[in-house]
């Protein structure tokens, strides 16, 4: 996990839900802190599933984070002497996040992003593919398929207990939603061509 000594870089951790992205991000943050590096952690403020000021994994590990409304706030909040910038749930940021990461890396910082590579339809999610293309390092993690036990690469979405339709909006008010890790074969998206 060690990069160039004389300039910054971008590393990206992707995969479906439950693949251990947050766990891996927290692990890298912990190790950077052990190396006595100054680390700042960010996440988008729309993700308030757990705690607005923490990155929390499904297994319960956590680390402090600043919730920001957009990617430019990150530029404003990063201190001059910060060596490592970690960003969780990167798929929820605007496209500008790609430029923000580039700017930070150009400014000699190590940038670690974690996020979903695909949405519930199995299609590229927001800015993540652009980050994957321009990063120095990409780790694509797999979860376990809840149907067949194969490695899972996709996130199955349920609305009121049924597989979400291709045309269902990403944000639904008043519906009970849940998610599951699934392999390609078990990933069901009614209405998908």
Q: Is 143 near Zn ion (CB under 5 A)?
A: no
Q: Is 144 near ligand ADP (CB under 6 A)?
A: yes
CB of 47 to ligand ADP, least distance (A): 11
Out of 148, 170, 172, 175, the residue judged to bind Zn ion by CB under 5 A: 148
Catalytic option among 24, 89, 123, 136: 89
Instruction: Count the site residues for Zn ion by CB under 5 A.
Output: 6
Residue among 7 and 192 whose Cβ is closer to Zn ion? 192
Binds 18: which of Zn ion, ligand ADP, none (CB < 5-8 Å by kind): ligand ADP
Binds 21: which of ligand ADP, Zn ion, none (CB < 5-8 Å by kind): ligand ADP
Q: 163 phi and psi, to 5 degrees?
A: -55, 130
Q: Which of residues 86-105 bind ligand ADP (CB under 6 A)?
A: none
Binds 63: which of ligand ADP, Zn ion, none (CB < 5-8 Å by kind): none
CB of 23 to ligand ADP, least distance (A): 3
Residue among 18 and 125 whose Cβ is closer to ligand ADP? 18
Is 11 among the residues known to form the active site?
no
Around Cβ 69, how many Cβ atoms within 10 Å? 11
Residues in the chain: 193
Facing residues of 132 across strands?
none
Contact positions toward ligand ADP, by CB under 6 A? 15, 17-23, 57-59, 143-144, 146, 181
The footprint of Zn ion (CB under 5 A) covers 145, 147-148, 150, 183, 186
């Amino acid at each position: 996990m060690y990069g160039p000594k004389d300039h910054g870089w971008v590393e990206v951790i992707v995969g479906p839900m439950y693949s251990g992205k947050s766990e891996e991000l927290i692990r890298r943050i912990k190790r950077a802190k052990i190396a006595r590096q100054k680390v700042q952690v960010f996440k988008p403020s729309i993700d308030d599933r757990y705690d607005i000021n923490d990155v929390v994994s499904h297994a319960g590990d956590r680390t402090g984070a600043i919730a920001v409304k957009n990617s430019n706030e990150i530029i404003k909040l990063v201190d001059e002497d910060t060596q490592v910038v970690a960003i969780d749930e990167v798929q929820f940021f605007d496209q500008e996040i790609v430029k923000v990461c580039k700017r930070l890396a150009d400014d000699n910082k190590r940038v670690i992003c974690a996020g979903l590579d695909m949405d519930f339809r199995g299609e590229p999610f927001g800015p993540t593919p652009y980050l994957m293309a321009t990063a120095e390092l990409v780790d694509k993690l797999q979860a376990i398929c809840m149907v067949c036990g194969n490695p899972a690469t996709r996130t199955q979405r349920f609305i009121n207990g049924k597989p979400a339709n291709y045309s269902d909006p990403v944000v639904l008010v008043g519906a009970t939603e849940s998610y599951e890790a699934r392999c390609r074969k078990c990933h069901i998206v009614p209405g998908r061509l």
